[in-house]
Amino acid sequence: MKQAELRRRDFLHATTVTGVAAALSASVSPGLVRAQPARDTGPASKDAGPATKIVKTQCRACISNCGVLAHVRDGRVIKLEGNPEDPMSKGAMCAKGLAGIQALYHPSRNKYPMKRVGKRGENKWQRISWEEALDTIATKLMETREKYGAEAVVGSTGGGGNPNFMSIARFLDVFGSPNWFEPGAAQCYMPRQLVYMLMYGGGGSGNTSIADSNCLELYYPDQTPIKALVLWGTGPSYSTPPCGGQALVELRARGVKTVVIDPRMTPDAAKADIWLPIRPGTDVALMSAWIKHIIDKKLYDADFVMKWTNLPYLVDVKTKMLLRESDLKTGGSKDTFVVWDRKTNTARPLPYPFDDNLDPALAGSFTVNGAACKTGFQLLAERVEPFTIAKAAEICWLDAKKVEEAIDLYARNSPSGIILGVATDHNPNSTQSAMGAAALDLMMGNVEKPGTLLQRFTDGAVRDLRSTPLKDFLSEAQLNKRLGNIEHKGLLTWWTGQPAEILKAMATGKPYPLKVWIDRSGNKLAMVAEPHKWVEAMKNLDLIVHIYMYPTSFSAYADILLPATEWLETDFVVRSMNKLFARRAVTHLWETMNETAIFPELAKRCAKLGHEDCRRSFDAKATAPEQPYFDTYEQQLDAWTDSAVKMTWKEFVQKAPVDFCPFDKWKVYYVYKEIDPKTGKPRGFGTPSKKCEIYMESMITLARTGVPFTTYPLPPASKDYDPLLYYMEPHENPKAEIGKTYPLVMTNGRLPMFHHGTLRNIPWLREICPVPELWVHPDDAKTSGVAHGDWLWVESRRGKIQARARVTAGMAPGVVYMERFWNPEGLGTPTQGWQEMNVNILSSADPPYNDVCGTYTIRGYQVKISKAGGPPPGVWYKPEQYAAWLPQPTEATKPVEVRS
């Protein structure tokens, strides 16, 4: 008793703090309040708790957007599983999606807006309110516009990371800056989309990228008659296991034959009938050989080629332009093209769609009114003539016999299709590769019939339930200033700028300085080529804003951090086949914000500061036919669902998924044969000639004017873009001088547990792949003195990084593979996590660039490898280390077993 008394006295003394009540008087509002009776206040016992709700939502761990059932108990997400209602994923969900809970509840999430204190890189931050953050940014934007011009503000995003991809483009249109970029675009999907749009005209999804949710025919394995698939530089088992990966499993199980063209043995390659381990960067050589073989052996669909492509049309050899009726006679139509009629041995106009009285020559050289002309087909045949199978095999490091088998597998098993992946978008021969693959499928007649990949299933009004650019807001003067745009008009497809030119302007101030950078994406320093140059150039910027869910290397150099919502905190509309699904915010943490809502808020503030176009952007009449900015995000959601299915967001969420089109009206074939009631003639393809324009005169028009993607005619590029594919040997290649010091060809590719630069901080996923592996053939390993599991140095002309060796026979000799990587555990150290094992330190932002859209080189360059003493300091590669994702208790205290 005495002891206790003493303790009480001591305690009383020790806890009597004078002035404490007064100090607390200026306090914050209570954190705990009276519970509302309506709330689910279940009993506190372990067995019966609050009920678990199942909320339908859509994943966004990658761009596959698979359907998800989120189990939510009392505001906490406890489990995720796939939603069987989703017709693409069919209830499947991959490891990345399942890790969504770890991503959502990761304590290192960006929680509140932060502004930098002290110098950039010191990593000192102070929390600010959203008001202050947005006001600061808007004020700086307006100052910059005043002093340097709106073009001094550059934006960026990530195609993989940002569900609302065009949000920053739209804001910049309104603000008046033409400059935004993403590390993808010309280096990802845009080359394919642009080429297929011009050649086939099937709209934005009229291409064969399976990872971008096209190739919809493949998701009906029991109905589709497809016989053979070529996976060209794509690995759906890695890039989209529940959608493309699953679809291929079902098709292979039903006897569909596959060819995989990939230097590394991916799961799809392992299960293919033929594996062509191609030298990276040489795809156009191989495609040329395929085209030549198909022409020589007459394996193409002759009727389709004649009637539905522009290959029989005559081309003026000198001007490279197609002949038109107006060239033959005055008053002739500019829209009617010319063929060589073998019956009369004269050039004759060919009325659309065809004239059975004519017998057009498919191949041949002719003279028309004194001008040398050839058919498109002839020009194509001549272009690919040098590429015999033997020659291609030599260039591409392949077995000629296997190459021929592969072409035959594709060409003699119809219908077939070429799924073209991102690999060919990663080097300067990007658009030409797309031209090759598109030409092949179109010449084979692999289009718009059952069993083909190129389809125009009904879109309805629901093409873009995302923010769209407001192109009309960007003046002609400003459009002309878009960096890299005049020379590479293909960038107009996505209304975006060229990273290399933006870097140059940022670094040198030429042709004009850049002063503000707003980025909505993960880790730019892991994704752009030559990040060191960017870090140096960033020193010239007055304001850098980073919008993302976590701190990344890029954040370390920023001035303001804005916390973005995770996919489990986001409301959005997602399309799958003919259905619309709702991505739902099942919870909300801290003060994260959907970035879709950030940009209208910036526009509001700029409007208040006098920016007229920012004011107009809220006026539906001014933005028509595009939607305006809305006051609240709820209004934006309503506008999307109303435009698509005439419902409010609330209604839509109750009913989702909703068919925006009945299935049988959606899955339509032979769209090109549909009769257009206005003309009484077939609709044809979505090109100016209504035929598949395998001879791409459109490339010349694009180079000279920017048509069809521009809002104003633009000055010409320095030279015309070639209407036909051509092969460019990789600039850095083993036979060049550089090959002596750097003998191996580097390539990249996806892994199933990550999506681009994301998820490196998620323990479940990181423990499966703790560090990037460099795959190397046993012969090359031996020559380089490295063994399986060794820590390596990997070097290019541009830099040096580390990796861990995976010696494997599943790798083409002479080629090495490594995926992009950054190390979150390095953030806050001198490397800031982007210098240890980041393969893009090795890649090249220098010329040569792709002529049409400016692609630089992130695959297909030369490297060397050597053994290193150990891992980079500070890198975590043991599973236990990911438990230390948070600080280890500094005392060896174990969490107490809580007994309830």
Partner 1 sequence: MRKTLVIDLDRCIGCYTCEVSCKQENGVALGLSWNKVLTVGPSGRYPDVQMYFLPTMCQECEDPPCVKTCPTGASYKRPDGIVLIDKAKCIGCQLCMKACPYGARSFNTETKVVEKCTLCLHLQEAGDKPACVKSCVAKARFFGDADDPNSDVSKALKAAGSDNVHSLPELGNNKPSVRYILHPKTAKWTQNQP
Partner 2 sequence: MESTPETVALLENRENLYRLLTRLYRAEVDPAFLDGLAAMSFPAADNDDDMAAGARLLEGWLRRPQTDPVTTLAVDYARVFLGAGIASGAVAYPYESVYTSPERLIMQDARDKVVAAYRTSGLDKSDAFTVPEDHIALELEFMAHLCAETRHALAAAEPEGVAFGLTQQAEFLTRHLANWVPAFCADVAVYADTDFYKGVAKLTAGYLRMDEAILADLRAELVD
Pair of tokens at residue 173: 């249109």
- Beta strands (DSSP E) in 124-249 are 125-127, 153-157, 180-181, 228-232
Amino acid identity of residue 261, one-letter, is I
Q: Does 277 bind partner 1 (CB under 8 A)?
A: yes
Binding mask 197-236 for partner 1 (x = CB under 8 A): ----------------------------------------
Answer for the pair 658, 652: CB distance below 8 angstroms, yes or no. Answer: yes
Q: Does 98 bind partner 1 (CB under 8 A)?
A: yes
Q: What span, in angstroms and rounded, lies between the C-alpha atoms of 725 and 434? A: 9
**210-230 b/e (C-beta count within 10 Å ≥ 16 → b):** bbbbbbbbbbbbeebebbbbb
**Residue 549 CA to chain centroid, in angstroms?**
18
Q: By CB neighbour count within 10 A (0-12 exposed, 13-18 middle, 19+ buried), where does 298 fall?
A: exposed
- Select 405 or 651, whichever has its Cβ closest to partner 1: 405
Q: Does 885 bind partner 2 (CB under 8 A)?
A: yes
- How would DSSP label each residue in 747-785? E----TT--TTTTTT-HHHHTTS-S-EEEE-HHHHHHHT
| Rg, Å, the chain Cα set | 29
| Shortest distance in whole angstroms from residue 545 CB to partner 2 | 14
Nearest to 145 by CA among 598, 542, 546, 599: 542
Q: What span, in angstroms and rounded, lies between the C-alpha atoms of 159 and 62? A: 10
| Half-sphere exposure in the Cβ direction for 754 (13 Å, CA) | 24
Which parts of 579-618 interact with partner 2 (CB under 8 A)?
588-591
Block residue for tokens 């990249």? 748
Q: Does 54 bind partner 1 (CB under 8 A)?
A: no
Binding mask 400-429 for partner 1 (x = CB under 8 A): --x---------------------------
Which parts of 12-31 interact with partner 2 (CB under 8 A)?
12-31
Among 144, 266, 552, 570, binds partner 2 (CB under 8 A): 552
Among 353, 708, 810, 848, binds partner 1 (CB under 8 A): 810
Among 74, 143, 399, 405, binds partner 1 (CB under 8 A): 399
Q: Does 275 bind partner 1 (CB under 8 A)?
A: yes
| Shortest distance in whole angstroms from residue 822 CB to partner 2 | 10
Judged by CB under 8 A, how many residues of this single chain contact partner 1?
51
Return the C-alpha torsion angle 789, 790, 795, 800, nearest 10.
Answer: 100
Q: What is the bridge-based pairing of β-strands 153-157 and 180-181?
A: parallel
Which parts of 760-789 interact with partner 1 (CB under 8 A)?
763-765, 767-768, 777
- Select 14 or 892, whichever has its Cβ closest to partner 1: 892
| Shortest distance in whole angstroms from residue 111 CB to partner 1 | 24
Which parts of 524-583 interact with partner 1 (CB under 8 A)?
none
- Select 109 or 481, whichever has its Cβ closest to partner 2: 109
Q: Which does 808 bind (CB under 5 to 8 A by kind): partner 1, partner 2, none?
A: partner 1
Among 23, 51, 117, 270, binds partner 1 (CB under 8 A): 270
Would you say the C-alpha torsion 768, 820, 572, 490 has a positive or negative sign?
negative
| Shortest distance in whole angstroms from residue 109 CB to partner 1 | 19
Q: How far is CA 187 from CA 253, 286, 368, 421, 777, in A?
A: 33, 20, 41, 12, 27
E strand or H helix at 480, and its extent? helix 476-480
Nearest to 195 by CA among 717, 724, 712, 716: 724
Q: Does 80 bind partner 1 (CB under 8 A)?
A: yes
Amino acid identity of residue 109, one-letter, is R
Identify which range of 162-170, 268-276, 774-782, 884-892 contacts partner 2 by CB under 8 A: 884-892
Q: Does 119 bind partner 2 (CB under 8 A)?
A: no
Q: Does 36 bind partner 2 (CB under 8 A)?
A: yes
| Shortest distance in whole angstroms from residue 885 CB to partner 2 | 5
Which parts of 823-882 interact with partner 2 (CB under 8 A)?
824-825, 827-828, 833
| Shortest distance in whole angstroms from residue 276 CB to partner 1 | 9
CB atoms within 10 A of CB 49: 13
- Select 14 or 253, whichever has its Cβ closest to partner 2: 14
Q: Does 812 bind partner 1 (CB under 8 A)?
A: yes
For helices 376-384 and 283-296, the axis angle rounded to 10 degrees is: 120
Which parts of 714-753 interact with partner 1 (CB under 8 A)?
752-753
Residues in contact with partner 1 by the rule CB under 8 A = 79-82, 89, 92-95, 98-99, 101, 237-238, 241-242, 245-246, 249-250, 252-253, 265, 267-268, 270-271, 275, 277, 399, 402, 752-753, 763-765, 767-768, 777, 808-813, 878-880, 882-883, 894
